[in-house]
Amino acid sequence: MLIHLHEITPGLQPYITSICTMDCDKDADTSHIRVLPDTCVELFVNYTTAPIAIIENKLHKRSIITARMSRPMYVQMRKGAGCIAICFHPGMAYNFFNVPMHVLTDTTVALSDLWKDTVTEIEDTLASANDNHTRVDIVQRYLLEKLVWDKQDQQMTSCMKQVQQSGGLISVNKLTNALGISQRHLSRKFQQYIGLSPKEYLRVSRFLRSLQLLKKYPTLSLTEIGYGSGYYDQSHFTRDYKAYTGHTPGELVNAQHILY
C-alpha cells in the first residue's frame, strides 16, 4: 500500500492532525492489522470503485467515518482501493458532523449516513480528478464549506489544551475547577465533542502517552514506561493494555500485527 502525506490547508490545521492518500495494490488485500484506540475520529473518502476496507469483519464499500475511542479494531484494506484519510484532532470532528460524537464512539459508519447525497457528489468528483494532489484539494474545500456551521466550544478547546499539556495526567476535578463548571456539565461536553466521559478520555490519554514512550525510548523497561506514563502500579498498567490492545505490555512490544 502506498501512503502519501499531504499538506493541510491553514484553515483546517486547528481541526485536522493529518491528511494522506492511501492506494492499495490491485492484486491482493492487505494483511489484517489491529489498530489501537487513539480518541480520534478518522474520515476515509473513497475515490475508486473498489470496496474500501473490512473493519471488524464488516465490508465497507464506500466512504466511511471510524472512531476508535476506547477499543482496538481489526482493519484490512481491500485490493485496488484508493482513499483520502483525514484524522481529526480530539474534539474537533464535531465541527464537521451534525451529531454528538458519542453516537460514533467505537463504531464505523457510512459517511452517507451523515452527509447524505453530498457524499456521492464528492466521490464522483474525486474519481474524475487527474491526481491525488487535486483530490486532496477538493476534499479540503468541502471540509472548509462544512465549517460554515462551526460549533467550536472555547471551554472544550481550553480543556483539550490542558489535557495535552499534562499528558493525560490532570484530574477531572482540576479540569472542572479550571473551567468553572460542574462535573456533570463537563461530562455532557465530553460526550458531545469527544465521545467519551472525561474519566475515560483521561484514561485513554494516559495509555497513549505510554505508547509514545514505548516508541521513543525502546531501551526503557516496561516498569519505567508505566511509571513515566503516570501509572501508580504495574497492575493498572497491565489492565489498561489488556483493555485497549488485548495484550499485556510485553506481548504488545513483540506483536507484529498491531499498529500504534
Element (H, E) at 27: none
For 154-259, the fitting CATH number among 3.40.190.10, 3.40.50.11720, 3.30.300.20, 1.10.10.60 is 1.10.10.60
Q: Is 16 helix (H, G, I), strand (E, B) or coil?
A: strand
- How many helices (H) does the chain have, and how many strands (E)? 10, 11
Alpha-carbon 219 to chain mean position:
28
Rounded to whole angstroms, how far apart are CA atoms 88 and 94?
A: 9
The DSSP secondary structure of 166-204, one letter per residue, reads HTT-S-HHHHHHHHT--HHHHHHHHHHHTSS-HHHHHHH
pLDDT (0 to 100) of residue 150 = 56
DSSP state of 112: H
Rounded to whole angstroms, how far apart are CA atoms 198 and 107?
A: 19
Torsion sign, CA atoms 152, 158, 159, 160: positive
Tell me the CA distances in angstroms from 90 to 29, 84, 119, 134, one per residue in order. 30, 19, 23, 27
Residue whose C-alpha is closest to residue 49's, from 3, 87, 82, 16: 82
Its pTM stands at 0.89
**CA angle, 233 as apex, 232 and 237 as ends, to 5°?**
100
Q: Which fold, 2-149? A: Jelly Rolls (2.60.120)
Could you read off the pLDDT tens digit of each residue along the chain, which spans 260 residues? 889 999 999 999 999 999 999 998 888 888 888 889 999 999 999 999 999 999 998 999 999 999 999 888 999 899 999 999 999 998 889 989 879 999 999 999 999 999 988 999 999 999 999 999 999 999 999 999 888 655 567 778 888 888 888 877 888 998 888 888 899 999 999 999 999 999 999 999 999 999 888 888 888 898 899 888 888 888 899 999 999 998 888 888 777 777 76
Q: What are phi and psi of 201, to 5 degrees?
A: -65, -45
Q: What cell was used for 36?
A: 489501537
Tell me the CA distances in angstroms from 225 to 35, 84, 157, 169, 209, one per residue in order. 21, 34, 29, 14, 9
Where along the chain do its domains lie? 2-149, 154-259
Half-sphere exposure at residue 11, Cβ-oriented, CA atoms within 13 angstroms: 13
Q: Are 6 and 19 in contact (CB under 8 A)?
A: yes
